[in-house]
Structure 1
Amino acid sequence: MLLEGFNIFTGLLFAAMLVLAAVAFGFAAFAREDAYRAAGKQTKPFWLVILGIAVLVNLLLPMLFLQIAGLIASIVFMVDVRPALKQVSGGGGGGGRRGSSSDGPYGPYNGGR
C-alpha cells in the first residue's frame, strides 16, 4: 500500500515536470526572436532545442537525472528568460492604462495628468 502511494506521487511529480517543460516550450516558441537578443539571453533556437529535449525526455525516456536536467532548464527559462522577454516586449500585466514613473502604489502623484 505504501509503495502504491509512492508510485502515485512519483507519477504526479513526473506529470508536473512534463507540463512545466511543455508550457516553457510553448512560451519559448511564441516569443519573438529579436526579444531574446534584446534581453541579452540565449537565442530562440537554443531554448527551443533545450526545452524540446526536456519535453521528449519526459515523454519518451523517463530517466530521472535527465528529467531533473530538463526541470532545471524549464525553471531557468520560466524565472529568468521569460520575465526578461516580457519586459523587452512590453508585455507587462495589468491591462488598460500603462503606469508612468510618477505612479505610486495608489495612483499617480501628479493628479492624474
Structure 2
Amino acid sequence: MIASLQVVIFFVFYIAIFGLSLWALIDLLRRPATAFPQAGKRTKGFWGAIVGVATAVSFSVIPIPGVPHLPSFLALLAAVGAIVYLVDVKPAVTPYSGGRGRGRGPRGPSGPSGGW
C-alpha cells in the first residue's frame, strides 16, 4: 500500500517538474531576443538551450511502466534550470518584452517624461 502511494507521489512530482519546465520554455519562446541583453542577462539562445534541455530531460524522467527512462535525479537538475529562468531571468526580461510587460519598465508607466 505504501509503495504504491510512493509511486503515485513520485509520478505527480515528475509531472509537476515537466509542467514547470514546459511553462518556462513557452515563456522563453514568447520573449524577443533583444530583451535578454537589455536586461543584462545571457542570450536567448543560451537560456533556450538550458530550458529546452530541462524540458526534454524532465519529460524523459517521467516513469512510464515498460518504457526506459533516465535516472530520476536528473529531474532535480531540470527543475533547477527552469526555476532559475522563472525567478531570475523572466522578471528581468519582462519590462523589455513589450506587450504586457510594457509599463513596468525602468522609466515607469508613462515613459521618460513622467506623464502629461
Q: Distance in 2 between matches of 1:62 and 1:87?
A: 37
Deviations 1:84-113 (A, max 9, x none): 11122350689xxx856xxxxxxxxxxxx8
Q: Distance in 2 between matches of 1:2 and 1:83?
A: 41
Q: Distance in 2 between matches of 1:22 and 1:81?
A: 15
**Residue aligned with 2:73, SS:** helix
Q: Any conservation in 1 of the 2:96–2:102 contact (CA below 8 Å)?
A: no
**Residue aligned with 1:33, SS:** coil
Deviations 1:13-33 (A, max 9, x none): 000000000110111111000
The 5 Å alignment of 1:1-113 reads 1-60=1-60, 61-90=69-98, 91=101, 99=109
Deviations 1:42-101 (A, max 9, x none): 11011111111111112224322221111011101001100111122350689xxx856x
Name the aligned partner's letter for residue 23 of structure 1. Answer: W
Q: Any conservation in 1 of the 2:103–2:109 contact (CA below 8 Å)?
A: no
Q: Name the count of aligned residue pairs.
A: 98
- Of structures 1 and 2, the larger Rg is shown by 1
Q: Any conservation in 1 of the 2:50–2:81 contact (CA below 8 Å)?
A: yes
* Residues 56 and 32 of structure 1, relative CA distance in 2, 3 Å threshold: same
Name the aligned partner's letter for residue 87 of structure 1. Answer: P
Q: Which runs of 5+ in 2 are unaligned?
A: 61-68, 111-115
Q: Distance in 2 between matches of 1:41 and 1:70?
A: 20
Q: Which runs of 5+ in 1 are unaligned?
A: 101-112
Runs of 4+, deviation exceeding 3 Å: none
Name the aligned partner's letter for residue 4 of structure 1. Answer: S
Q: Any conservation in 2 of the 1:57–1:63 contact (CA below 8 Å)?
A: no
**Superposed CA RMSD:** 2.1
